[in-house]
Amino acid sequence: RSTVSAGSAVADAGAALRARLLALAGLRANEAPEDLAIAGGAILRRDGSPVMTLAEAVAASGGEIAVTGVKPVAATFPSGCHIAEVEIDRETGLVRLTRYVAADDSGVLVNPVVAEGQIHGGIVQGVGGVLGEGMRYDAAGQPLTGSFMDYTMPRAADVPGFVTLDLPTPSPNNPLGAKGLGEAGTTGALPAVANAVADALRQIGAALPPLPCTPLRVWEAIRAAEF
């Protein structure tokens, strides 16, 4: 959402600022704005000769050039497909995530490296919600999972390497062509991992236990199917 809304507003403001600077330089150099370009902190003619620096352009306008940018009003809709593979130890109920593939269409990615990290983090968050994370309390209502020593958040050793595929279709609803991906990892991981566990248990006639699928709950589901 930040890229789609705030990012689009910044891009809109940047385009307006660029147009103002080129118009100002065009008047100074008696050149059409479309015949000028901005590069290396300066405004240049088509032959590469400088007209003025950006600092000189701002100074010539009185020391300040103010523009505004507007965010788009139309919504964007990213899409994707996430696939998880799990293995279950029938003796202990331990679920292990062995493979994970995520294919997402989030439109144009402004920063692909950060976007991939966002998806990785979201996947791990979703995995944790299915396989272990949860607040637990004793009979007196006191929390038993009050620190990272007790709260079973996935560690690096608990997840495999992820395969992430970027299949962008630019959005026509904003100048960046972005669709947003803030929730892509978590939204895909929760049902993908839960369905993988359910599919594995179904093969032995067991039902998916209430989330999170802790080893105890999975073990109890397996035992219930056996007797």
Q: Which CATH architecture has domain 79-226?
A: 2-Layer Sandwich (3.30)
- pLDDT tens across 57-82, in order? 888 888 778 888 887 778 888 899 99
**Domain ranges across the chain:** 2-60, 79-226
Digitized pLDDT (tens) for each residue of the chain, 227 residues in all: 788 888 889 999 999 999 999 998 998 888 899 999 999 999 999 899 999 999 988 888 887 788 888 877 788 888 999 999 999 999 999 999 999 999 999 999 999 999 999 999 999 999 999 999 988 899 999 999 888 888 889 999 999 999 999 999 999 998 899 998 888 899 999 999 999 999 999 999 999 999 999 999 999 999 999 87
Strand partners, 196: none
The identity of residue 157, as a single letter, is A
Q: What is the pLDDT of residue 5?
A: 87
Burial of 184 (0-12, 13-18, 19+ CB in 10 A): buried
The identity of residue 170, as a single letter, is P
SS3 content of the chain, % helix, strand, coil (to 5): 40, 20, 40
Q: What is the pLDDT of residue 66?
A: 84
Q: Is the previous residue joined to 212 through a cis bond, with omega within 30 degrees of 0?
A: yes
| Spatial separation of the C-alpha atoms in residues 146 and 155, rounded to whole Å | 17
